[in-house]
Structure 1
């Protein structure tokens, strides 16, 4: 897992030219699912987890989002609309595995991913919006620490007591 400070985490991911690069894009998604599975063998993610291609050293605009009960693998995703309503929850990152941070995020996102079979728009709410927004940020060279409010500081993972519990929403 690529860790903070590595240049690929600060570089905008390269969008896939679809359908021409469909085979390459499919291979990247497969590699993301394999990496996700390796991580899940060592850690339980009660809130779900996501993984972006730059986190495994691949300069491609692909991510997998794995809520506790489903999987999704968008290619070239971009946020096209975000609700002004936000909430602030603790997030962690496989590239910052030793800390957790309070991060505000929109409660609703509309994303436009390109699938291997064409374009679509997806509306995500609450925890899924948080997971997707987080991974899309990775593709556009933003780390979750960029979204933290001024004056908010990371806490060591051992001090975080939300491990294994789903985010709570109103």
Structure 2
């Protein structure tokens, strides 16, 4: 079981590396992705997270646990409480909206221990292509919170941290085409 001790912290070189494509979906890769998603599920369970001192998370990219692999796990529920998209291997944004959005309270990250204030501008809608753990090619249309989460995790695969997007001069000033996420 992954714990906070397994999460690579800000300043570690792995978090600034553009990680490598996954060329083979083998048993080890599947086990790594499964444990990443299990961390997210456990971190959102109040009893388990308290017992193991887990910080809650909705997404986890492979570099955050020290792996040089283009893959991520997410655990975000839709309006009906059903989990949306568990694992993505070699995900890539293939299109996005012009309009932007942001979380009014800013973003956080399991790899960043302190709160960093400011808004992170993200595309309001994105389309992502990826592979599942079964090797199936998928295309995902994401909007709202799911789009924000995916962009945050995809940034990790390219060595970009969320705070890189915060305007240093006007950290709380949204772009003209950005609306807060409800």
Task: Please classify the TM superposition score into its range, dividing by the shorter chain length.
Answer: 0.7 to 0.9
- State the 4+ residue runs in structure 1 displaced beyond 6 angstroms: none
- Structure 1, unmatched stretches of 5+, are 155-166
TM-score by length of 2: 0.75
Q: 1:67 to 1:44 in 2, by over 3 A?
A: farther
- How do residues 81-96 of structure 1 correspond to structure 2 at under 5 angstroms? 81-89=95-103, 90-96=106-112
- Pairs aligned (count): 153
Cα deviation digits, residues 65-92 of structure 1 (max 9, x gap): 1114415111111111111100222110
TM-score by length of 1: 0.79
In structure 2, the residue matched to 1:33 is 37
2:114 alignment counterpart? 98
Q: Following the alignment from structure 2 to structure 1, what is the Cα–Cα distance between the partners of residues 20 and 35? A: 16
RMSD after superposition = 2.2
1:61 Cα deviation from its structure 2 partner: 1.2
> Structure 1's 152 and 96: CA in aligned 2 closer, same or farther, altered over 3 A?
farther
1:107 alignment partner, one of 124, 127, 132: 124
Among residues 138, 141, 144, which one is paired with 1:120 in the alignment?
138
2-side partners of 1:8 and 1:82: how far apart? 27
Q: 1:34: Cα distance to partner?
A: 3.3
Give the match for residue 177 of structure 2.
none
Q: Deviations over 1:15-58 (max 9, x none)?
A: 111xx33323212211212333454414675xx61111111111
Unpaired segments ≥5 residues, structure 2: 1-6, 173-179
How do 1:38-77 and structure 2 match up within 5 A?
A: 38-40=42-44, 41-42=49-50, 45=56, 49-68=58-77, 69=81, 70-71=83-84, 72-77=86-91
